[in-house]
């Protein structure tokens, strides 16, 4: 099933989910097995030998991931960071170099700065919305990829995917896009020239805060084959039940994202008028420096909202501690609304570095509850 033949929601529901040929079950079974009986030595049945190497439930998810991102190959992992690590070690070698966002997700920064760097991979952080700075950071013949987030986590900056793809390919490098914040429903990076998409499927794809996972989707079969080899060789795959939960979540992605966006727009409008808020960060605002690019490459602007509190870090933490419906928790993209203080929570690993986030910053993952209830909760928390 491809986007040339079907709409997004049809793909999300049906890709990888053919009725079971034996029973007619309309939902793919959970193949909770570690190994498979083989028909003869060297003749595994349907190619299945061992569930690290292949599992029908994970294969169903992987087929769906490729379909909804318009890719050639989808690969599922135990977490978003497992997917990132596999990609880096499959494509890069010690001595290579990567350009990353100047405001990357804290876990991605930690992976580059504390793990990959020890392995010999160099990196440079630059604002990816400034193409001149991106070009200046390139080391011809050494830089192997641009690693982009758009919108970024947690400052919600926007990178021009098509422009970055052109720049990367000019130097025979890859463009990797972390599409977690936007989701495939709102943004299609491969159609804009990206080579690989990264997801934390824990977030909007799973959508219910009940499963951890990651994914890679490639634009080419060759790169997909390389990553599939490393997926098996490195072994950071998700289990069949986790794959099943993620596949179930994807089926409602479109309708959930519409509500996330609706609610986020109402929250943004409220926060902009509140005297306890000094700045609202949301790419849907015309005042946002990346609004024009976001409007060009996104269907809508997502459910993530960040704002800066009048009164600095102390006030920001106080707001986080006072909410009732907005749950104080890390992660994002679930049906329930979450609030966090990035500087002390998800991005603590970047403290003291050039990627440190402002202390007065609060990040919201706006859920799909009744929006008036969310606004009332913010009212009492902001005081």
Which residues are identified as catalytic? 52, 105, 178, 203
Residues 6+ apart with CB under 8 A from 41: none
Length of the chain: 383
The alpha helices in 273-368, defined as continuous H runs, are 291-297, 312-322
Neighbours of 331 (CB within 10 A): 15
Which residues, at least 6 apart from 327, have a Cβ–Cβ distance to it below 8 Å?
Answer: 336, 337, 338, 339
* Of 243, 236, 188, residue with least CA distance to 84: 236
Closest residue by Cα to residue 100 from 121, 125, 127: 125
End-to-end CA distance of the chain: 51
Residues near 24 by beta carbon (within 8 Å), at least 6 away in sequence = none
């Amino acid at each position: 099933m491809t986007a040339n033949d079907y709409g997004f929601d049809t793909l999300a529901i049906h890709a990888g989910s053919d009725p079971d040929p034996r029973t007619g079950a309309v939902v793919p079974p959970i193949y909770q097995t570690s190994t498979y009986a083989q028909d003869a030595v060297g003749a595994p049945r349907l190619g299945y030998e061992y569930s690290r190497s292949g599992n029908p439930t994970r294969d169903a998810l992987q087929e769906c991931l490729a379909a909804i991102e318009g890719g050639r190959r989808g690969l599922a992992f135990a977490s978003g960071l497992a997917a990132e690590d596999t990609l880096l070690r499959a494509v890069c070698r010690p001595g290579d170099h990567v350009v990353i966002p100047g405001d990357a997700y804290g876990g991605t920064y930690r992976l580059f700065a504390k793990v990959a760097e020890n392995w010999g991979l160099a990196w440079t952080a630059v604002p990816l919305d400034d193409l001149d700075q991106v070009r200046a950071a390139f080391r011809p013949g050494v830089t192997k990829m641009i690693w982009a987030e758009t919108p970024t986590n947690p400052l919600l900056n926007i990178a021009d995917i098509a422009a970055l793809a052109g720049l990367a390919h000019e130097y025979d490098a890859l463009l990797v896009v972390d599409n977690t914040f936007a989701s495939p429903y709102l943004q299609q990076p491969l159609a804009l020239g990206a080579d690989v998409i990264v997801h934390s499927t824990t977030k909007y794809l799973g959508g219910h805060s009940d499963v951890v996972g990651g994914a890679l989707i490639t634009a080419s079969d060759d790169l997909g084959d390389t990553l599939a080899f490393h997926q098996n060789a490195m072994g950071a795959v998700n289990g069949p039940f986790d794959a099943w939960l993620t596949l179930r979540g994807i089926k409602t992605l479109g309708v959930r994202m519409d509500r996330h966006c609706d609610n986020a727009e109402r929250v943004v409008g409220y926060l902009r008028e509140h005297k306890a808020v000094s700045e609202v960060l949301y790419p849907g605002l015309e005042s946002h420096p990346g609004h024009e690019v976001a409007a060009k490459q996104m269907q809508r602007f997502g459910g993530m909202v960040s704002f800066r509190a009048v009164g600095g870090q102390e006030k920001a933490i106080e707001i986080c501690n006072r909410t009732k419906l907005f749950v104080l928790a890390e992660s994002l993209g679930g049906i329930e609304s979450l609030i966090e203080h990035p500087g002390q929570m998800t991005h603590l690993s970047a403290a003291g570095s050039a990627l440190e986030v402002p202390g007065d910053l609060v990040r919201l993952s706006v859920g799909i509850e009744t929006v008036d209830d969310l606004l009332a909760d913010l009212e009492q928390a902001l005081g």
